[in-house]
A and B are shown apart, each in its own frame.
Chain A
Amino acid sequence: MTSKIRMTMILILCTLLFLISTLLLLSIGDIHLGFGQVISVLLGTSQDYTANFVVWQLRLPNLLAALITGGALAVSGLILQVTTHNPLADSSILGINAGASLGAVILTAISLSNDLLPVAALIGALISCGLVKLANRNGSPIQVLLGGVALTAIMNGLILILELRLNQFSFDKALIWLSGSFWNLDLGYLMINGLASLLLLLLVMALLPTLGTLTLGETMARGIGVNVKRGQQWLLLVAVGLATVAVAVGGAMSFVGLMAPNIAKRLVGERVNLLLPVSWLLGTSLMMLADVVANNAFGKVALPVGLIVAVVTMPYFIIQLFSWQREA
């Protein structure tokens, strides 16, 4: 009973964190709005023209982008960690993000329209996922991680060459795909990607029982009568899809998919029906807060969100690496 109360408390706290991050993102900026104003705008009761304009036109796109990228990365990281039994797995260290970025960059190099960008990113992500699976032949977690590091290096090299060949001076654009930034805040584009991520999240919900059995370990799962291979493959595909959506919106953000599920696991344990929502809430909150900091903490300049995310998540990865080694 006490554990049930604890879980409820954690869920409530995470939701609170999520709501506060949302309000912060919507209220802080060059034009400062109060929480009350934001809430009344959201409820549709505000008559203030500026407040309405700021919230709906200026800050909603950022909110959507943060929700899509943060949520998709966190859930994809959770799936990767469970299916590979590797607490350090996540789409950025495995090179999936870099693959998706490379796909996107190749598309922008050969065509002028961005319509097919998510498709190109998906192809890139699938290719790098296949290559990582090659590194996973022996099932050694270390091998997979190192393979991912190598892949990331190769793909980032290609991205740099392609982007600089396009235009020696469009260096900042190359960095979107190397370190992550909300580069396209067009509402239509965000809506399409949001819809895709929503569908994928629903698919994850449908696969939740399989994911739950996989936390028990493969032998146990097989014993219960789960088709482990098929389930893993489906889940992996969904994870790659989610990472692709995140990259299409925000470029190659690092380690959100590592950090959110890991903290969630510490809070609620191994139960996936709790892990999933808590990871999502934490991932999105992280992304929204990073957006707030990136846009407001440095005076007149706005930093790319990816940098703030990296500065937070990379030390977390190193800490996590140590505790993992100690257990192993």
Chain B
Amino acid sequence: MNWWQRHLVGILIVGLIVVATLNVLGGSRWYELSALWQPMHSLLGKVIWTMRVPRLLASVMVGALLAMSGLLLQTVSHNPIADPSILGINAGANLALIVGGVLGVGMSIFNTVWLSLVGAGLAFLVVMSLAMSRHGIAPLRLILGGTVFSGFISCISYAISVMTNTTEQYRNLLVGGFSSSTYGQVVLLAIVLVIVIVTAACFQSGLTLLAMDATSTRGLGVSTGILWSIAASLIVLATAASVAVGGNIGFVGLGIPQLIQAIRPGSFKQNVWVTLLGGSVFMTTADLIAKATVPGVELPMAALSALFGGCLLFMMVVFDRRVIQV
């Protein structure tokens, strides 16, 4: 092990602090470092504490949640290229939000969460039942079927929003981003993150064993059914909360666990916390890029993450032998 592999956690924490500071200071206007010491009631302090800090916190936590759900999904599906967005979970949560909006459900934080939970859960069930074959989950069905299914759901969402003249809402969900994050959303994300972290910590050994093939896991006396449902509910919960706050951000769950795996190969247990940190660092950086590269324009977060994740996926498909062994 190189020293940077051993100190990966430390490096990521330092990275997160640096990027977080830049994220708070940067944007359509850059502030001096001293802006952080300004009193709360001054204009500058207000901008920092009511707009930029919640935005930063939201992106940190969404990154962590998405990376976590991606890692879980890859572990339980025995498949390096699984991602919540590939599996239609994002699209399902989106559709539920659109339908909710059309039916006139008020978009309070609580409502958005349960709507996206229901949508994400249903989509997950559909994709999983599509992917189930006699030999467990068939990876090709999971990925191709899931991708097309999520495209299908997005089309329905778009059709509904065109018919009801609410394309603005669809646009916001599809484009994604944290520009309108509030402290309410931050609290919500924090609750979900704590639930996910605590559960994952309690069951980390079991979840690690799920990565082995089904017969060995069962041979070790692990009840796969319960672990499976725990993993599935964590995935749905984490993704739904992320979509409710950040819109349709895909491929983070694919990219971050794979990058960490490439830097430091290891099991679920060894890599889960590093992955969480990596997701946060990535999302905070991406958010900074989205708001600061072109002054006055917010680049679409969904597109940025798709660019990054798509390139990675393409590389994996072309150069990585593991992917083909399905």
Chain A residues proximal to chain B, CB less than 8 Å: 88, 131, 134-135, 137-138, 140, 142-143, 145-147, 149-154, 156-158, 160-161, 164-165, 168, 171-172, 175, 179, 254, 298-299, 301, 303-304, 306-307, 310-311, 314-315, 317-318, 321-322, 325
Chain B residues proximal to chain A, CB less than 8 Å: 81, 130, 133, 138, 140-141, 143-145, 147-149, 151-152, 155-156, 158-159, 162-163, 165, 167, 171, 174-175, 250-251, 294, 297-300, 302-307, 309-311, 313-314, 317-318, 323-324, 326
CB of A160 within 8 A of CB of B297, answer no
Nearest residue, chain A, Cβ from B290: A161
Q: Which residues of B contact A151 (CB under 8 A)?
A: 310, 314
CB of A164 within 8 A of CB of B300, answer yes
Q: Which residues of B contact A317 (CB under 8 A)?
A: 148
The binding surface of chain B is classed by DSSP as helix
Q: How far is A160 from B314 in the complex, measured between Cα atoms in Å?
A: 19
Q: Which residues of A contact B175 (CB under 8 A)?
A: 160, 164, 171
Q: How many A-B residue pairs have CB under 8 A?
A: 133
CB of B151 within 8 A of CB of A310, answer yes
23 contacts between A and B (CB under 8 A): A134-B318, A143-B318, A146-B144, A149-B143, A149-B313, A150-B314, A150-B317, A153-B306, A158-B307, A161-B299, A164-B299, A165-B294, A165-B297, A168-B298, A171-B167, A171-B171, A171-B175, A301-B163, A303-B159, A310-B155, A314-B148, A321-B145, A322-B145
Q: How far is A7 from B306 in the complex, measured between Cα atoms in Å?
A: 46
Nearest residue, chain A, Cβ from B152: A314
| Given A154-B306, A175-B158, A307-B158, 16 additional A-B pairs, CB 8 A | A135-B317, A135-B318, A143-B318, A157-B303, A157-B304, A157-B310, A160-B174, A161-B304, A161-B307, A164-B175, A165-B299, A299-B163, A315-B152, A321-B144, A322-B130, A325-B141
Q: How far is A298 from B140 in the complex, measured between Cα atoms in Å?
A: 36
Nearest residue, chain B, Cβ from A326: B133
Q: Which residues of B contact A303 (CB under 8 A)?
A: 159, 162-163
Q: How far is A150 from B86 in the complex, measured between Cα atoms in Å?
A: 10
Nearest residue, chain B, Cβ from A311: B155
Q: Which residues of A contact B299 (CB under 8 A)?
A: 161, 164-165
| Contact of A137 with B306 at beta-carbon distance under 8 Å, contacts A146-B323, A325-B141 already known | no
Q: Which residues of A contact B318 (CB under 8 A)?
A: 134-135, 137, 143, 147
